[in-house]
Structure 1
């Protein structure tokens, strides 16, 4: 599993790790039931603290992306993902607000922002279809 972590970024390492794994699942680089590296192994490979990896794995578990099992370790959730229900929509709304505000402050139009979102979405779907 190839993950890119930017040690110089202002984004917390555990957030980068969560985002990278979710993107790997979305792009079908990580398949349902596929094991992820152990906390110790991934921390060593990335040169980061064990607690950082553990925090990322716990967040992924809470959000339904992985299961943590004493025997199997951490695996990509083998079943379907939780649906995009009302609570997900509320969370997505809260996550989008700062991105949209930043885009507005930097002069992006609604159309430009929408086009960028569409481009990124299609890029992930395109890769999903080539990996699926």
Structure 2
């Protein structure tokens, strides 16, 4: 997996890193147990401060995507090993809240229900491609 950052983007760099890693997990490019580069190595590769990378890794850890093992580094977490029923319910509630916000935003901009559903289907196909 190759990470890139856009220094000119309005999206903070740590969030760009977070989004790229979670997308790689979602599409199966990264699997449970796969290592991530060290904070220092990724910072050097991207040309960003190691504290920025550390912030992205902390967010990945806090959201349950990554487990940190001291000197062994960061590895992609196995969802079945950490997701309690309460965590799964909270994740679903967060996802539904985000989906509602997107739907409201698009509706307020004049997009109709069928167009929203078509966009949702395209997005789902991008995340869950036929394998």
Instruction: Say yes or no: TM over 0.5.
Output: yes
Aligned pairs for 1:87-106 (under 5 A) are: 87-106=90-109
> Which structure has more RCO (C-alpha within 8 Å, separation ≥ 6)?
1
Q: Secondary structure at the match of 2:24?
A: helix
Query: Which consecutive residues of structure 2, in runs of 5 or more, have no partner in the other structure?
Result: none
Looking at structure 1, the residues matched to 19 and 89 of structure 2 have their Cα atoms a distance apart, in angstroms, of 21
Shift in Å at residue 79 of structure 1? 5.0
Number of the residue aligned with 2:115: 112
Aligned residues: 128
Task: Please identify, of 84-93 and 49-58, the stretch whose mean Cα deviation from structure 2 is larger.
Answer: 84-93
Change (3 A) 1:102 1:85: same
Number of the residue aligned with 2:126: 123
Query: Which consecutive residues of structure 1, in runs of 5 or more, have no partner in the other structure?
Result: none
Aligned pairs for 1:19-34 (under 5 A) are: 19-34=19-34
Number of the residue aligned with 1:41: 41
Alignment RMSD (CA, Å) = 2.0
Q: Secondary structure at the match of 2:42?
A: helix
Number of the residue aligned with 2:76: 76
Shift in Å at residue 42 of structure 1? 0.7
